[in-house]
Structures are given as C-alpha cells and as structure tokens.
Chain A
Amino acid sequence: MAGQTNLDVVVPAPRPATSAHPSPASVLAAEIKGLVGRGERDAARERFDGLVLLLQRRALRVAFQYLRDAADADEAVQDAFVKVFMHIEQYRSELPFDVWFTRILVNASLDRLKARARQQRWISHSTDEENGWPVEQIAGNEVSHERRLLAKERWSEVTEAVASLPDRQRLVFTLCHLDERTPAEISAATGMRPATVRVHLFRALRKLRGVLGGKAGTDTR
C-alpha cells in the first residue's frame, strides 16, 4: 500500500489500563490534592516540588518542540505547573495525571503562541538564513552533535515539514511522536475526538512521508 500510512505501525501502542497501575505522577498528584484539601498548603508545595521534578523534563521537550523557542517553552512550562497547583482540587484521581497535565501544558503553549503572534506584529526577528528558525534558537556545538542522529539536510527537511503543518496537525504530531502519547491520550489531552486525532495524525504523516520520500506533501488542511 504505497503512499498510505498504517497508523498502527507508526503511532505508539496503547498502554495498559492506568487505573490499576497509576503512574508515579498520578499518585503524587492525588497526595497533593489531599494536602490542599486539608488546608496544608505548605506541605502540598513541598510535595509539588517532587511532581515538578518528575514531569519537568518531558514538559520542556514538548513545549520546546511545539514553540521552537527556549524562553517561551520555559514560560509555558512554568505557567502549566502553576495552573496545575491552582486547580489541583479539580483533578480526578481516577484518571491519569499525565494526560490532565498534558492538556494544561498544551493550553499554556497555545497561550504563548498567541502572545508571540501579538508581539510579532511589532517586532521583526532576524532569522537564520539556513533553516528559517530565529537565530537565538540555534544552540552551538551541543545541538549539532545531537543532530548527527539525523543527517543535517534530513533534519532541516523534517523540522521544516513539521513546522509547516497546520496547528492541530502539528500539535497531534508533537504529542504522538515526541511525547509518545497514544491517540486516546491525545484525545483526552486536547479535547478532540479520537477519530479526529487519527485524521490529523494521518494527514501529518502523509505530508511528512511526501517530504521525506521526495515528493512534496500539499495537504495543508
């Protein structure tokens, strides 16, 4: 089936039921929720530090890949954690905390994107001529070393192709392939229906396949 993408091969496999084996983050979040409910906010803050430690790295990876700016990613992750603490009492302990947190993180990232769009009406950034990303986003030798995992040209092709995806496709792709979320989890995190998630994912992969396989994907829906 040339040109068609079998999502079952490409997307992460569903994880086992999480209610029976809650993740460490879910356990910790339930504990913090209990502390806040009892009015022990200082103790809750101390425990929250552990939760931040647990999720911070993953959150920064997702936010950075989606926003493509270190400062914005930093702010978005901070905002997401603060919102989590503010609304921890609304967290339903029987559901995986990671998904709830991802939803908040996605919203915080979208807020950052909107804020950046407003700023860019007034500020014009100088851009790197090679790949179009803002100059300050290009790290030095550390990144070029890691980029050897992909050939430089291929890296540029993939990043440009991902960046050119429509917002929802890019969000779904980022959560699926960088955060390794299943379509069901993405559906829970974004509020999209599972079928919609799969459609966005299919279109994103079709475009990427076209770019990587030498024929340009033209679907921008």
Chain B
Amino acid sequence: MSDQELKATLDAYRAAAHAEADAHFDERALETQRHKILARLAHLGQTAKVIRFPIVPHGDVPITGVNRRWISVAAAAGLIIGLLGGQLVHLVPQPTRRLAPMTSTIAPSAERPDFVPALVSFPQDDGLLDEVDFAVQVRSASELRALDELTPFNEPR
C-alpha cells in the first residue's frame, strides 16, 4: 500500500469516524450538553449548603451551659443532703418503727437484738425444717438409690 493509498484510506476513515460520532450527538444532544455545562458553571462559586440538625422535639428543654451548671449543683446538693440524712437516721431516736409489730410477735434471739431476718432462729420453724430434711433424706435413700449408683463421682467414695 502506497502512502497515497494509505492517506486516502485514512481520509475515508476520518470521514466515517466523524459521521459515526455525529450520529451519536445530534443537535438536540449538543444543546442538552451546553445546558449541562452552563448549569455546572453556575454552581461553581457556590459553597455547599449546610443543613440544620433536626430540631429538638417539643417538650424537651435544650441543655445550655447555664442549665448544665444547675444540673451539676443540684446533683451535688442531693448527694450532700443524702449523706446528712443518712447520718441523722442513726443519731435521732425513732419512737415508732415500721417492723416493730412483727418483732413483738416473734421473740428475738439474745445474741442479735437488731432485725436481721436471715439469721433469726425460730424454735417452731427449726423443728419443722428438721422434719422436712429428714423426710427428704429418707426418701432419697430408698427411692433414688439406683440413680445415685449410676451417678459418676469425681473422687472414689
């Protein structure tokens, strides 16, 4: 292929290529593109719009610096009042206690005069519990012996 033939082929290729591109971009497409370009240029100098954070719902008081200080002072005052009140409970004698009627029906043990329910012993209850414990032990010994035989133990019995 000579240079002239190559040049003629490339000229034809150029014409065909231009026609192909023009087929994709008709006058309407060009106009649309111009509008897009101008729209982009119109927004060039504008800064980004800052959207406000969602407003606090009605009824909620916004916490300002002054309010935050008042909350701190109130918390400290509450703590002090609580401590003082706790000390006064022990210092001031109380004529009536809520649990006094209960203690009057139950005889407190001599060693622990204060009301401590978990450690108080009652003769009637002790007897009842002993009977229950004995019944359970006897029942397990007679009826659960087979199961007890099958249960593995960590240490030899």
Contacts and interface: CB of A to CB of B under 8 A. Distances in A.
B30 A85 contact: no
A5 interface: yes
Given A9-B7, A209-B1, A61 B18 contact: yes
Interface in A173-213: 177-178, 180, 205, 208-209, 212-213
Contacts of B15: 149
Contact of A77 (B7, B22, B33): B33
A49 B45 CA distance: 17
B34 A177 contact: no
Contact of A70 (B13, B19, B24, B34): B24
Number of contact residues on A: which range applies? Answer: 35 or more
Chain B interface SS verdict (over half): helix
Nearest to A7: B3
A60 B30 CA distance: 9
B20 interface: yes
A143 B23 CA distance: 6
A82 B16 contact: no
Interface in B1-39: 1, 3-4, 6-7, 9-10, 12-25, 29-30, 33-34, 36-38
B20 A139 contact: yes
B17 A65 contact: yes
A101 interface: no
21 contacts: A9-B3, A10-B7, A41-B45, A45-B41, A48-B38, A56-B33, A64-B25, A70-B24, A73-B21, A81-B37, A82-B37, A82-B40, A82-B41, A139-B20, A143-B23, A147-B16, A177-B10, A177-B13, A178-B17, A212-B1, A213-B1
The 8 closest A-B pairs by CB, nearest first: A146-B19, A142-B23, A213-B1, A64-B21, A9-B3, A61-B21, A149-B16, A70-B24
